[in-house]
Amino acid sequence: MRVGLIVDSACDLPYEFARKHDLFVLPVTAIIDGQTYIDTHDPVKTQEFYQSGLLDKGHEAETQAFSAQQIHDLFMEKIVTQFDVAICETVTRSRSLIFQNASEAMNTVMANYEEARKTAGLEGKFSMRVIDSKQIFAGQGLLAAHTLRLISQKMPKNALRQEVETFTDKIYTCVIPRDLHYIRERARRRGDKSVSFVAAFLGKALNITPVIFGQGAAGNPVAKTRDFNVAVEKVMNYACARVEAGLLTPYVSLSCGLSWTEIEDLPGLNRLRDACESNGVELLLSQMGITSAIYVGPGSICLALASEPHEFSDFQ
257/191: higher pLDDT: 257
Q: Does residue 180 carry a pLDDT above 80?
A: no
134 plus 248 within the same structural domain = no
Beta carbons of 239 and 122 less than 8 angstroms apart: no
pLDDT score for 34: 86
CATH at 107: 3.40.50.10170
Same domain flag for 176 and 290: yes
* Same-domain check for residues 16 and 162: yes
- In this structure, are strands 85-90 and 127-132 parallel, antiparallel, or unpaired? parallel
Helix (H) or strand (E) holding 22, with range, is none
pLDDT grade for 218, boundaries at 50, 70 and 90: confident
- Spatial neighbors of 169 by CB under 8 A, at least 6 apart, are 134, 215, 216
Least confident among 48-62, 118-132, 217-231:
48-62
Instruction: Point out the domain boundary residue: 168, 198, 219.
Output: 168
Q: Does position 33 have pLDDT exceeding 60, yes or no?
A: yes
Q: Tell me the sheet residues that pair with 224.
A: 210
**Total domain count for the chain?**
2
User: Helices in the chain by DSSP H: which ranges?
Assistant: 15-20, 43-52, 68-74, 98-112, 114-119, 138-152, 157-167, 180-190, 197-205, 228-245, 260-264, 269-278, 290-296
CA pair distance 202, 235, nearest whole angstrom: 21
The CATH number for 201's domain is: 3.30.1180.10
| Whether 186 and 255 share a structural domain | yes
Q: How many CB atoms lie within 10 A of CB 92?
A: 20
Q: Are 28 and 182 in contact (CB under 8 A)?
A: no
The residue from 135, 168, 201 where one domain ends is 168
- Whether 11 and 160 map to the same domain: the answer is yes
Mean pLDDT of the chain: 90
Residues 84 and 187 in one domain: no
pLDDT of residue 197: 52
Same domain, residue pair 265 and 143:
no
Note the pLDDT of residue 47: 84
Q: Are residue 8 and residue 111 in the same domain, yes or no?
A: yes
Q: Residue 189: its pLDDT value, please?
A: 65
Q: How far from 149 is each of 5, 17, 153, 168, 251, CA to CA, in Å?
A: 11, 12, 7, 15, 10
Shared domain check, 12 and 153: yes
Q: What's the distance, Cα to Cα, between the start and end of the chain in Å?
A: 45
pLDDT of residue 204 exceeding 90, the answer is: no
Residues 57 and 131 reside in one and the same domain: yes
Alpha-carbon distance of 167 to 8, in angstroms, equals 18
pLDDT reported for residue 187: 63
Span 5-24, mean pLDDT? 95
Q: What is the pLDDT of residue 188?
A: 65
pTM: 0.93
- The answer on 226 and 83 residing in a single domain is no
163 and 189 both lie in a single domain: no
Whether 202 shows a pLDDT value over 70: the answer reads: no
Indicate the residue type of 283. Answer: L
Percent of the chain at pLDDT above 70?
A: 91
More confident residue, 76 or 52: 76
Among 168, 201, 232, give the residue marking a domain's end: 168
94 compared with 16, residue with greater pLDDT:
16
Q: What integer pLDDT is reported at residue 46 of this predicted model?
A: 85
Q: What confidence tier does 61 reach under pLDDT thresholds 50, 70, 90?
A: confident
Percent of the chain residues past pLDDT 90, beyond the cut: 68
Task: State which residues form the domain around 249.
Answer: 170-315
